[in-house]
Structure 1
Amino acid sequence: MKLNSHNFWGNNYYRNPSVTEIDIVRAESSLGVKLPPIYLDLIRIQNGGYTNGFIFPMKIMTSWANDHVPLHEMFGIVNPNSTSGHNIMKSHYLTSEWGLPPNQVIINGDGHWWITLDYRKSKEPSIAWIDIECDEDIQIATSFKGFYHDLVSE
């Protein structure tokens, strides 16, 4: 299924403000990474929040399901002091708090599991599924572009 980026987003529950180019530059500087272009295209439409309900098909079982992981929400770029729950700027704090591997930018998760932009091996991130409680650290896509293009409607 080919996704339409304008039908990707659902509710902006936390009312994240629109992202600006200055926000993007500051986020990349603070996080020490270059964010994937397709991710940036999506948050320019809506700066994080709930999606229209997608899953990423998996060939191996995870703690979530036998054949997929969820993408019910995706984090945007918001001031680090914001109370928004959809905020990649909390990645350093969450990585430390939950004992995640280094060099992760969290784009989804609830404390038990996470989907991240994984910069451990390259300046171009792969996508990781990390469940600390179940000792799962799985590369699920080699790029955000591949991850996005393989998403299917739930």
Structure 2
Amino acid sequence: MAPFDEIVASFWHPTSTHGRRPPLTDDLVATAECVLGVRLPDDLLRLLRIQNGGGVAEQWDACPAEVNGYADDHVPFEHLFGLDLADRPGALTLLDTPYLVREWELPSPCVLLSGQGHFWVALDYRACGPTGVPSVAWIDNELGHELRLAPDFRAFVERLVPGSRVS
């Protein structure tokens, strides 16, 4: 496990531009928290201030996990949604969460960090409430299976490993 501060420096994929949004502003964070109805973790915002969404570097693109519908020993984390109010074609943003929760009948309250319809990595606010510290969960919508990946976002990031190292 690498410390969060070390991961921050190399978290983002160095060449991928898919899913990148314009730089994060304090006004956008305030608007997003109002729209989502939750307080976003400071460590998440720290990463999004460096780069507002996009591909995760290969050395951090998987999270070890129990057996699940994706793999026997991990779940993918190849991208992190950014924050953006503009309706731009392409990648999803954290602000798409309310729509996606309704569309895919996902547990709520949560904020979707990454995923693609059948499975998601999410901040799970069900136990802590909207101003608490959310855990990070894997939600396999197709199989109706959930896994708790970490007690908070920082611990989740510190558990990340290269997808090539697992399996």
Where on the TM-score scale, by shorter chain, does this alignment land: which range? over 0.9
Give the TM-score normalised by structure 2: 0.86
Task: State the partner residue of 2:7.
Answer: 4
What is the rounded CA distance, in whole Å, between the counterparts of 2:22 and 2:142 in structure 1? Answer: 33
2:73 maps to a residue whose letter is: D
Q: 1:38: Cα distance to partner?
A: 0.9
Contact 2:111 2:123 in 1 (8 A): yes
Quick one: which of 42, 48, 65 aligns to 2:47? 42
Task: State the partner residue of 1:134.
Answer: 143
May I ask how many residue pairs the two structures share in their alignment? Answer: 153
Identical positions, percent: 37
Quick one: which of 20, 24, 44 aligns to 2:25? 20
Q: Does 1:82 align with 2:88?
A: yes
Structure 1 runs of 4+ aligned residues shifted over 2 Å read 80-84
Quick one: which of 71, 81, 87 aligns to 2:77? 71
Contact 2:139 2:147 in 1 (8 A): yes
Stretches of structure 2 that go unaligned for 5 or more consecutive residues are none
Contact 1:16 1:84 in 2 (8 A): no
What is the rounded CA distance, in whole Å, between the counterparts of 1:153 and 1:92 in structure 2? Answer: 30
1:62 maps to a residue whose letter is: N
Quick one: which of 60, 63, 67 aligns to 1:56? 63
Q: 1:86: Cα distance to partner?
A: 3.6
Task: State the partner residue of 1:153.
Answer: 162
Deviations 1:71-107 (A, max 9, x none): 1000111116333424000000000000101101000
Q: 1:15: Cα distance to partner?
A: 4.0
Q: 1:18: Cα distance to partner?
A: 0.7
SS of equivalent to 2:56: strand
What is the rounded CA distance, in whole Å, between the counterparts of 1:14 and 1:145 in structure 2? Answer: 22
Quick one: which of 84, 87, 98 aligns to 2:104? 98
- Report the RMSD for the aligned CA atoms in angstroms: 1.3
What is the rounded CA distance, in whole Å, between the counterparts of 1:28 and 1:75 in structure 2? Answer: 15
1:144–1:107 distance in 2 versus 1, CA, 3 Å = same
